[in-house]
Amino acid sequence: MKALCMLLALFVTGCMGIPDNVKPVENFEVERYLGRWYEIARLDNSFERGLNRITADYSLRDDGGVRVLNRGYSAEKQKWKEAEGKAYFVKTPDLGFLKVSFFGPFYGSYIVLALDQENYQYSMISGPDKSYLWILARRPNLDKGIQNMLIQKAAALGFDTGKLIFVEHDPLPGSAN
């Protein structure tokens, strides 16, 4: 039993780490980060596999945390998939380092490692290791120059940007979505 507890503790703390050379942005303002973000690109992960038109909506929770609502469309299944989670700051609210959970007591790192701090129009997020990376924007498309700058930054930090999946946001046939 003791070994199982130690293994679980290692798993949980491993999910809350910061990858080598990655630094969360400072002077982070959660109020400006709230609202809808469109996923522009990501490294593959099991929970978004096969999804497009992915959005993340952030709002404040009554307990001081952040409500996270992720939504994506599966063309194969012809239906939307949603996941609601919660996030809390790991250190201070002005540091872009949060822990996020979509199931039970298990949390993973949500590290804002790049951000348009003037207008909050784009951001780049890492998970606990370099197998998780997202590029987000306030609109379904991002200026190619900014996108390339973010990809170059991620590559310089050691992320495998050659494996990025670029998310389609084309409207569904016959709908306004």
* pLDDT in 10s for each residue of the chain, 177 residues: 333 333 333 344 447 789 999 999 999 999 999 999 999 999 999 989 999 999 999 999 999 999 999 999 999 999 999 999 999 999 999 999 999 999 888 899 999 999 999 999 999 999 999 999 999 999 999 999 999 999 999 999 999 999 999 999 987 665 655
The separation between CA 19 and the C-alpha centre of its own chain, rounded to angstroms, equals 15
- Looking at this protein, which amino acid is placed at residue 9? A
Domain presence at residue 176:
no
Asked if 125 contacts 137 with a C-beta cutoff of 8 angstroms, the reply is no
In a domain, 120, yes or no: yes
In a domain, 172, yes or no: no
Structure confidence at residue 8 (pLDDT)? 37
How much is the pLDDT for 176? 56
State the pLDDT at residue 5. Answer: 31
Domain assignment of residue 17, yes or no: no
Count: domains in the chain: 1
Residue 128 in any domain: the answer is yes
What phi and psi values does residue 68 have, to the nearest 5 degrees? -120, 125
CA-nearest of 42, 46, 171, 166 to 103 is 46
Question: According to the model, what pLDDT value does residue 175 have?
Answer: 61
Residue identified by tokens 């999946």 is: 165
